[in-house]
Amino acid sequence: MSPSFSVRPTASVWSRSGLIAHVDLRSHENNLAHRTREIDRERLIVRRGQPFAITLQCSDSLTPNHHLEVVLRLGRRDELVITVQEQREARDKWWFDQQRAQDEIVLTLHSPPDAVVGHYRLAVVAKSPVGHVVDKADKMGFHLLFNPWCKGGPCELSQRCDGGDAGGSWPDREKRVFVGRRKTCGQGVSECNQTTQTRGWSLHSSPGGQRERERHTGRPCVPDKGTDGWQFEDYVMDVCFDVLDNSKDALKNPKADTENRSDPVYVSRMITAMVNSNGDQGVLTGRWEEPYSGGVAPYRWTGSVPILQQWSRDGAKAVKYGQCWVFAGVACTVLRCLGIPTRTITNFSSAHDVDGNLSIDILLNDKLETVGKKDSSWNFHVWVESWMRRDDLPKGNDGWQVLDPTPQELSEGEFCCGPCPVAAIKEGDLAMKYDAPFVFAEVNADIIYWMVGPDGQRKKINVDQSGVGKSISTKSVNGDFRQDVTLHYKYPEGSTKEREVYEKAGRPVADSTDGNAEPGQLQLSIRHAKAVFGTDFDVIVEVPGKAVVQEMATAHISFANPLPVPLRGGVFTVEGSGLLSATEVHVKGDIAPGQKVSVMLSFSPRRVGITVILTASFFSTVGGHVYQQREKERHLAGKTVLLNFSAVIGQMLEMLERREESSTAIGRRKLESGLNTFILMLFVISQDGRAV
């Protein structure tokens, strides 16, 4: 990885020559106004399209004939240099105004809504009436991010947004990613509004609450694990920009890449390509089957920050291993960090159309064995949506855009997908950039079964028009539950409009008889193996007494083995913002059926309002069953089965910075999620242990 190109920006700069004696970047008030205060209170971080003020303290009053000039530089080699004039020339230009009062000058800088995002170096130049440089204050810098609140800006999160956890205000520290199999209430009966399981995913990790936006320290990589917890989660915002800096486009043509970073379409596409490591210096290597030697199994990850930190620490070397929800979680973190509203999306029964014919073709021989595997259908697949305006497309394609960082198919020579307008998918407008046919097939392909004769000729024997794209889900912004967005992607399944859109998309469909079988041909009943899930079980977390900032506290975690077989190799993994780095607590010995196991965790909270993710993993040998461990079902006869559950201790509470809160301690909730469950509970840290 290339070294960081800037020194640590400071809130104040003293001039050597003396005319401009001191410059105050006013980071505290600017960051508050720009909704970046929880990223950092020392460093200036602002959003484009919104003014910010700096103060110049002069050793002597500047005469009216003297004038000021602001120079901005962007890029490792000054690929972009902007001279900011005092008067406003156009809406798409930087400009500033000033207010003078004796020896103090307040400069208010205005960035255009489509300014390039990145780290700017700032210099203020004082010039004489004839244009000579009288004084110069530099060694200053700030970060400029996309702005979801900028009226008329490309990423403005408008009222047309349906809600969902888009991250426009980044209200959550954790994310729910829906995985597993879609549940139904019996055969042929209406669907239950639930999915098999959810995964807790930590998107942010800063002590201030926005964990993917961190204090810049000027060093090129993350610290070792032995450093203090407050510093351990530093650098992540810089790592997000480093991800862009290591893209093929940035390395090939830095100047063009820098200029293109004004466009969220370009930036999001680069991030999508860089989250996976196929063909570039990307963040994650994918692997969909054991063994996971030399890396971390995908189901072990609980958040984006450790992945990004490891990638940075290892010099842009890909982290092992990821699967779709891991790729999507990291992409969501990076895009939100840069200021683009983003949310994760889960598509159950997700198609992977290799040849682009908008169907999943299942080929069977005369023994009903599949042959010539090519297309496939996954139990679930996870991608992200980002909200942006599409100036490169016809009207009607603004809003949510599909971005899929999981490496599946090449898109213009890169393993990336999107951004693709959700509106275009629903209407079957597959000429819209990018990768609309592939995304359309993921949610709306027909599954066609073919009989392949000895001569290689195919004969269609069954068509399933409604088996793909079920219960498309995201986390609701109003709570920790699933929001269904299926109707954003397609019209009601089986409706006339849905079939019209499918035909418009490029594949004519002939009328079929009841059951979709063609007259005179064999009607097949395809039997899918069912995932085996255990009985419901409770996980209990207790914190005796009160949890107080900077004082040791203890948590007891317990549950009973719900399976009829022993569990072994138990590991509890705990991590949390301002609490501790990822900590593993191992369970010794086997756990018999029905036996209760309990572990103790000691911790010292560093801030008020902590949120923690708890993950536990156990293993057991189960013969002849099918367990949905990853995105695809696997027959695991005689192999290990992962028992995984997650718990979130704590809720993001809107509280004053110094408000005293008590530990309201523990509740529990049992969810019918088989071998996987989540516990939501309130766990609030106080400054001195006093109750409110």
Q: For 319-360, where are the alpha helices, taking DSSP H only?
A: 324-337
Q: Is position 234 annotated as part of the catalytic site?
A: no
Asked if 31 and 208 count as a contact pair (C-beta separation under 8 A), the reply is: no
Quick check: bond before 120 cis, omega within 30?
A: no
**Residue 350: predicted pLDDT:** 94
Asked if 454 and 478 count as a contact pair (C-beta separation under 8 A), the reply is: no
Asked if 363 and 355 count as a contact pair (C-beta separation under 8 A), the reply is: no
> Is 498 annotated for ligand binding?
yes
Which segment, 60-69, 303-312, 540-549, is predicted with the most confidence on average?
Answer: 303-312
Closest CA to 651 of 617, 674, 671, 678: 678
Min mean pLDDT across 159-163, 189-193, 493-497, 619-623 is at 189-193
Q: Which of 404, 429, 435, 464 is catalytic?
A: 404
Closest CA to 403 of 384, 390, 389, 422: 384
Structure confidence at residue 117 as a pLDDT band (50, 70, 90): very high
Whether residue 684 has pLDDT greater than 50: no
Query: If you average pLDDT over residues 678-686, what whole number do you get?
Result: 30
Query: If you average pLDDT over residues 337-355, what whole number do you get?
Result: 93
- At 104, list the tokens: 């103090």
Strands 580-586 and 626-627: unpaired
pLDDT tens for 17-71 read: 568 889 999 999 999 999 988 778 789 999 999 999 999 998 877 777 788 899 9
Structure confidence at residue 276 as a pLDDT band (50, 70, 90): very high
Pseudo-torsion of CA 627, 629, 635, 637, nearest 10°? -70
Whether residue 140 has pLDDT greater than 80: yes
Q: Is position 404 annotated as part of the catalytic site?
A: yes
Q: Is position 324 annotated as part of the catalytic site?
A: yes
Q: Which of 221, 240, 324, 420 is catalytic?
A: 324
Query: If you average pLDDT over residues 565-594, what whole number do you get?
Result: 73
> Is 518 annotated for ligand binding?
no
Query: If you average pLDDT over residues 164-193, what whole number do you get?
Result: 45
**Structural domains in the chain?**
12-145 (2.60.40.10), 174-516 (3.90.260.10), 539-681 (2.60.40.10)
Which segment, 246-250, 409-413, 597-601, is predicted with the most confidence on average?
Answer: 246-250
**Residue 516: predicted pLDDT:** 44
Which segment, 128-137, 199-208, 451-460, 649-658, is predicted with the most confidence on average?
Answer: 451-460
Say what the pTM is: 0.72
> Is 233 annotated for ligand binding?
no
Half-sphere exposure in the Cβ direction for 599 (13 Å, CA): 19
> Is 444 annotated for ligand binding?
yes
Cα three-residue angle 347-201-680, rounded to 5 degrees: 100
pLDDT tens for 201-236 read: 666 543 333 333 333 333 323 323 232 222 234 568
Cα 681 from Cα 674, distance rounded (Å): 20
φ, ψ (nearest 5 deg) of residue 518: -75, 145
Asked if 548 and 689 count as a contact pair (C-beta separation under 8 A), the reply is: yes
